[in-house]
Amino acid sequence: MSGRDRGGAGRLVTGLTWAVVLLGFWLWGRGITEGHGIAAPATGDVAAVGRPGGTPLPPPYAPLAPARPERLQIGSVGIRAPVVERGLDADGAVDPPPYDAPGLVGWYGGGPAPGAPGTALLVGHVDTESQPAVFYRLAHVKPGERVSVNREDGSVAEFTVEAVEVFTKDRFDPKRVYGPRDTHRSELRLITCGGAYDRKRHAYTANVVVSAYLTAARTR
């Protein structure tokens, strides 16, 4: 995500069912937060950056007890960032990380925690007016790579990337982006802006979505 445009997108109401929550996130995704276009990190359509042929993925690890995320690490693309909980703003919209703190990753605290059962959602800006932001290189992550989340209980949840996809605004799939791929796993979605930057609309044309699932856990 990048920029300041909330545009009424992603409006959620506390206590609604997860199906309606998905609808709210779908609106958020279609809104494509406003950016400044110093670069477009990814192009393409809904196609995934598929897993190299013959590369096996590890089996899932049993979900952990819930614990707040503190830090995200993706060594392959140099991401090491604090994670902050985000909820709803005064208008009932999902609040992204502060625009003046582009190095932060936002965790949607109304959903599962990373490592717990379900699908945890982490979002971040792709750029600012003058420099790359925390998820600038997210589109370069490859299936099979590791994503680590340090949690407040002293554990580290280790996820393996299984898909990297670019969803254009007109083909955004909320169920695939925000819903579980396997209800028995702990899953993670990392989401930012992507595609081309439309200078007329001051917005990116797509979202980059990295999907991962829990494959290990350790103590710090």
Q: What is the DSSP secondary-structure string of 34-50?
A: B---S---B--SS-B-P
Name which of 41-45, 56-60, 97-101 the model is least confident about: 41-45
Q: % helix / strand / coil in the chain, to the nearest 5?
A: 15, 40, 50
- With contact defined as beta carbons under 8 Å apart, do 33 and 124 qualify? no
Residue-range domain boundaries for the chain: 18-219
Burial status of residue 171 (CB atoms within 10 A of its CB: 0-12, 13-18, 19 or more): exposed
Query: Superfamily for 18-219?
Result: Sortase (2.40.260.10)
Query: What is the distance between the alpha carbons of residues 182 and 211, in angstroms, rounded to a whole number?
Result: 12
- The residues near 118 (Cβ < 8 Å, ≥ 6 apart) are 63, 111, 112, 180, 186, 187
Q: Is pLDDT at 18 greater than 80 in this prediction?
A: no
Q: Is pLDDT at 64 greater than 70 in this prediction?
A: yes
Q: Is pLDDT at 89 greater than 70 in this prediction?
A: no
In DSSP terms, 168 is beta-bridged to: 206
Residue 52 pLDDT class (50, 70, 90 cuts): low
Kindly report, residue by residue over 106-123, the tens digit of the pLDDT: 998 988 999 999 999 998
Kindly report, residue by residue over 156-196, the tens digit of the pLDDT: 999 999 999 998 877 878 888 888 999 999 999 999 888 88
